[in-house]
Chain A
Amino acid sequence: MSNPEDPKPGRRNFLSHASAMAALAPAALAAAPAPAQESHTAAKAEVLTTERPGADFMIDVFKSLGFEYVCANPGSAFRAIQESVVNYGGNTKPEFLTCLHEESSVAMGHGYFKVEGKPLLVFAHGTVGLQHASMAIYNAFCDRVPVFIVLGNNLNAATRRSNIDWVHSVQDAASLVRDFTKFDDSPISLHQFAESSVRAYKIAMTAPSAPVVLVADADLADHPIEGRTDLTIPKLANTSPPTGDPAAVGELADMLMQAQRPVIVAGRLARTPAGMAHLIELAELLQSPVVDLGMRMNFPNRHRLNLSPNSRALVENADLVLGLEVPDFYGLVNRISRQLEYSSQLITKAKLACISAGDRLAKSNYQDFQRYQPVDLDLAADAEATLPSLVEAVKKRMTGDRRRAFEARGAEYAKQHAAMREKARVDASYAWDASPVSVARMCAEIWAQIKNEDWCLVNGSTNFLSNWPLRLWNFDKSYRHIGSSGGAGMGYGAPAAVGAALANKKYGRVSVNIQTDGDLMYAPGVLWTAAHHRIPLLTIMHNNRAYHQELMEVQIAANQHNRGIDRAHIGTTIDDPNINYAKLAESMGMMGIGPIEKPDDLGPAIRRGVEAVKRGEPVLIDVVTQPR
């Protein structure tokens, strides 16, 4: 905010001055005498301090929104806001968490939300910081997760003090990420800052959720607010999510009642713990099998109707496929060849229905919306919010005959579920004593040590683990895992795990991070953040010494090109020298164990690790593993 008597144009009077000048006719401008060149050393009553900067009001706004933490790598563009957090705000709600990379800041917010259900605050430079952060913002966008990002910027060129101020300033800071955020604004007054902050929070949290960006101008943050009595913070009104049209819900209930072999597929369904409860109720009413795609903790893996590993056969044989927030419905019901020539084929004659809010947040440039799949019934609504009315509609249509028929098919699915679990145990027994350690063995060893704790898998439910946790562990509560990255951008896992562990801390849960090696090395400094802020977290390295997915991709290309099939490791492996992750962890101030290459050494090491985590420490155990 500018001093009204300041002869230099502050941001506010600079803008009003510019507007006034623009209103003048060109002729009048031409006739006017040339203005005297502004003196940059003009004498004035020097104001050296203020005890009530605009940043304090910004902190009031953040406190009103209930942020517990702000994650940031320090940056001069938001120095006043950072100072207000720690001094004016007392470094509590939000508490400043020191991050060593902006990608880590945002990914921590990503993981934190998926446990806590509310966004975390991130500060970053509007230029260099946002460029670092952009990958993690894209992941959060694809995963429909809100993160509240505040960018420092100095728009007023007349008050930039150094060459650094210039290279760290930008006309339209948020434009860099506008394609994959839901809302942004660049307020030019504190009043607007408050209003835009509340609006941004509301928009971010309204399903489908996504990151939002607010640019905090350095002039606004630095300058005094004394005497301002008109500043108010609007009340936050949370928005109820969009629900399905009652007629369409009724039509879907009819389809479900008539189907002989329905299958329910859950993608990003469960936004809250209620999502899982609603899905259980619907599945049990219908005695319908459920395929949980692992993007959220949608359905208990040991529920007798969970037939996720049999998804392909279920879809092929279904007469109705209902997708709930399934982002890639096309991939679900088509077989897409990975061979040189593209081909795809519909694999089912089933009727197709979906409930998804996905179309409510479609952007054009980044194409995370997937290939278009025609369906028979499409409800553009939030699935979790729509399920209660769908359950009621099914109940209204239930008859004794249908209930008996459903129970008969449910009994059959229960047998399939039991066989599926038995197959998982048999599959896990292969390579049981191998070195490098099989992923199945590693996951079984972890399970042995955490099964009697209140635990949460904060990273590791992905196919990088051949899905072993979901095949061997008991995921029985809504917080047992947090899904995956959304955008498949490497570097998500470690910081998201730390963010989720941060949220789990107050609940006393043992947070388990099965951490791939390539992902960790994008920004390993997040281990220091965990140590510095005493965030308890058990990190088990899935150290296959490669970017294994990319290794397989290059192998495919070499095979298809009929050459060099023994050279796919070039540029895809992380060895020679091997990275010692235990020493890396120790260097960051946390307990490091390993590398462990013999499977029999795993149990004692993990037991030690769990004990340390229960004392409140972060621990890393390096396990040299099989590829998948």
Chain B
Amino acid sequence: MNRSVVVLFALMTGVLPLAGQAPAKAGNAENGKQLYVKVGCYQCHGRQGQGGASAPFGSYGPRLAPPKVPVAAIRAYVRHPSGGMPPYAAKVLSDAQIDDIYAFLKTIPSPPAVKDIPLLNQ
């Protein structure tokens, strides 16, 4: 397990403190929906946060929706990403904006079960 995964896991489970972060608030999902496209999240994660390609042919970003990590972990990761994701410094994307994007991701419903999609059972 590489270091970034360890850090992310620790953030998710609350083991690591997130010093200096503003407390998370319920974000504005509508604003988050616009920001998600405007600042380029969709480029790697898809317009519904469904995620991109898998190795070995290139990896463009994991699935984001519905979110399975707390917003604090998302905040921490986008400031100090690893792999192919570019950093989003507070100067260009505020904590509040991240909260809005997170709120938008939470509005995206889970997909139907695979067994209920005939084309995925062919």
Q: What is the bound-complex CA distance between A556 and B87, given in angstroms?
A: 8
Cβ-based interface call for B44 (8 A): yes
Cβ-based interface call for A177 (8 A): no
Q: 1/0 per position for A461-472, CB-CB distance to B under 8 A?
A: 011011100111
If A429-B111, A429-B117, A448-B122 touch, does A308 touch B82 (CB 8 Å cutoff)? no
Q: What is the bound-complex CA distance between A148 and B50, given in angstroms?
A: 44
Do A448 and B50 have beta carbons less than 8 Å apart? no
Q: Which of A444, A552, A565, A627 contacts B39 (CB 8 A)?
A: A565
Do A425 and B120 have beta carbons less than 8 Å apart? yes
Shortest beta-carbon distance, A307 to chain B, in Å? 10
Q: 1/0 per position for A454-481, CB-CB distance to B under 8 A?
A: 0000000011011100111000000000
Stretch of A4-12, A221-229, A431-439 on the interface side:
A431-439
**What residues of A have a CB within 8 angstroms of the CB of B55 in the complex?**
308-312
Which of chain A's residues has its CB closest to B48's CB?
A431
Q: What is the bound-complex CA distance between A517 and B66, given in angstroms?
A: 30
Which of chain A's residues has its CB closest to B44's CB?
A552
Cβ-based interface call for B23 (8 A): no
Q: Which of A311, A432, A560 contacts B56 (CB 8 A)?
A: A311
Interface residues on A, range: 35 or more
Q: What is the bound-complex CA distance between A471 and B120, given in angstroms?
A: 11
Cβ-based interface call for A445 (8 A): yes
**What residues of A have a CB within 8 angstroms of the CB of B92 in the complex?**
559, 562-563, 565
Do A431 and B122 have beta carbons less than 8 Å apart? no
Shortest beta-carbon distance, B55 to chain A, in Å? 5
Do B50 and A430 have beta carbons less than 8 Å apart? yes
**What residues of B have a CB within 8 angstroms of the CB of A339 in the complex?**
81-82, 86-87
Cβ-based interface call for B42 (8 A): yes
Q: What is the bound-complex CA distance between A466 and B58, given in angstroms?
A: 8
Which of chain A's residues has its CB closest to B93's CB?
A565
**What residues of B have a CB within 8 angstroms of the CB of A428 in the complex?**
120
Do A555 and B117 have beta carbons less than 8 Å apart? no
Do B43 and A466 have beta carbons less than 8 Å apart? no
**What residues of B have a CB within 8 angstroms of the CB of A565 in the complex?**
39-40, 88, 92-93
Q: 1/0 per position for B53-93, CB-CB distance to A under 8 A?
A: 11111101001010000000000000001111111110111
Do A448 and B52 have beta carbons less than 8 Å apart? no
Cβ-based interface call for A337 (8 A): yes
Q: 1/0 per position for A566-594, CB-CB distance to B under 8 A?
A: 10100000000000000000000000000
Interface residues on B, range: 35 or more
**What residues of A have a CB within 8 angstroms of the CB of B38 in the complex?**
566
Do A434 and B119 have beta carbons less than 8 Å apart? no
Which of chain A's residues has its CB closest to B38's CB?
A566
Which of chain B's residues has its CB closest to A551's CB?
B43
Cβ-based interface call for A220 (8 A): no
Q: Which of A447, A465, A627 contacts B122 (CB 8 A)?
A: A447
Do B47 and A308 have beta carbons less than 8 Å apart? no
Q: Which of B39, B58, B113, B119 contacts A448 (CB 8 A)?
A: B119
**What residues of A have a CB within 8 angstroms of the CB of B89 in the complex?**
559, 562
Which of chain A's residues has its CB closest to B1's CB?
A316
Q: Which of A335, A430, A562, A563 has the most CB of B within 10 A?
A: A430
Cβ-based interface call for A294 (8 A): yes
Q: Which of A432, A441, A556 contacts B86 (CB 8 A)?
A: A556
Which of chain B's residues has its CB closest to A311's CB?
B56
Cβ-based interface call for A160 (8 A): no
Cβ-based interface call for B26 (8 A): no
Do A462 and B57 have beta carbons less than 8 Å apart? yes
Shortest beta-carbon distance, A197 to chain B, in Å? 39
Shortest beta-carbon distance, B78 to chain A, in Å? 9
**What residues of B have a CB within 8 angstroms of the CB of A429 in the complex?**
111-114, 117, 120
Q: What is the bound-complex CA distance between A308 and B43, given in angstroms?
A: 24
Shortest beta-carbon distance, B121 to chain A, in Å? 8
Cβ-based interface call for B32 (8 A): no
Which of chain A's residues has its CB closest to B121's CB?
A425
If A448-B119, A565-B88 touch, does A430 touch B111 (CB 8 Å cutoff)? yes
Do A471 and B86 have beta carbons less than 8 Å apart? no
Q: 1/0 per position for B90-103, CB-CB distance to A under 8 A?
A: 01110000000000
Cβ-based interface call for A161 (8 A): no
Cβ-based interface call for A628 (8 A): yes
Do A466 and B52 have beta carbons less than 8 Å apart? yes
Shortest beta-carbon distance, A106 to chain B, in Å? 25
Cβ-based interface call for B27 (8 A): no
Which of chain A's residues has its CB closest to B86's CB?
A559
Please provide the chain A residues from 288 to 303 with a CB less than 8 Å away from any CB of chain B in the complex.
Answer: 291, 293-294
**What residues of B have a CB within 8 angstroms of the CB of A432 in the complex?**
111-112, 117
Do B42 and A627 have beta carbons less than 8 Å apart? yes
Q: Which of B39, B43, B114 contacts A426 (CB 8 A)?
A: B114
Q: Which of A436, A555, A560 has the most CB of B within 10 A?
A: A555
Q: What is the bound-complex CA distance between A432 and B48, given in angstroms?
A: 10
Shortest beta-carbon distance, B23 to chain A, in Å? 24
Cβ-based interface call for A427 (8 A): yes
**What residues of B have a CB within 8 angstroms of the CB of A427 in the complex?**
50-51, 54, 63
**What residues of A have a CB within 8 angstroms of the CB of B93 in the complex?**
565
Please provide the chain A residues from 206 to 249 with a CB less than 8 Å away from any CB of chain B in the complex.
Answer: none
Do B60 and A628 have beta carbons less than 8 Å apart? yes
Shortest beta-carbon distance, B50 to chain A, in Å? 4
If A426-B114, A448-B122 touch, does A434 touch B48 (CB 8 Å cutoff)? yes
Shortest beta-carbon distance, B62 to chain A, in Å? 10
Do B57 and A626 have beta carbons less than 8 Å apart? no
Q: What is the bound-complex CA distance between A311 and B54, given in angstroms?
A: 10
Which of chain A's residues has its CB closest to B83's CB?
A338
Do B51 and A430 have beta carbons less than 8 Å apart? yes
Cβ-based interface call for A451 (8 A): yes
Q: What is the bound-complex CA distance between A556 and B44, given in angstroms?
A: 11
Chosen A-B contacts, 29 in total, with CB atoms closer than 8 Å, are A291-B56, A294-B57, A308-B55, A312-B55, A312-B56, A425-B114, A428-B120, A429-B120, A430-B50, A430-B63, A430-B65, A431-B47, A432-B111, A438-B50, A444-B119, A444-B122, A466-B54, A467-B53, A467-B54, A548-B43, A551-B40, A552-B43, A552-B44, A555-B86, A559-B86, A559-B92, A560-B87, A566-B40, A627-B43
With A431-B47, A552-B40, A626-B50 known, 4 other A-B pairs at CB within 8 A are A309-B55, A339-B86, A426-B114, A555-B43
Give chain A's interface residues, CB within 8 Å of chain B.
291, 293-294, 308-312, 335, 337-339, 425-432, 434, 436, 438, 440-441, 444-445, 447-448, 451, 462-463, 465-467, 470-472, 548, 551-552, 555-556, 559-560, 562-563, 565-566, 568, 626-628
Shortest Cβ-Cβ A-B pairs, 8 listed: A559-B86, A463-B58, A430-B50, A466-B53, A311-B56, A431-B50, A431-B48, A463-B57
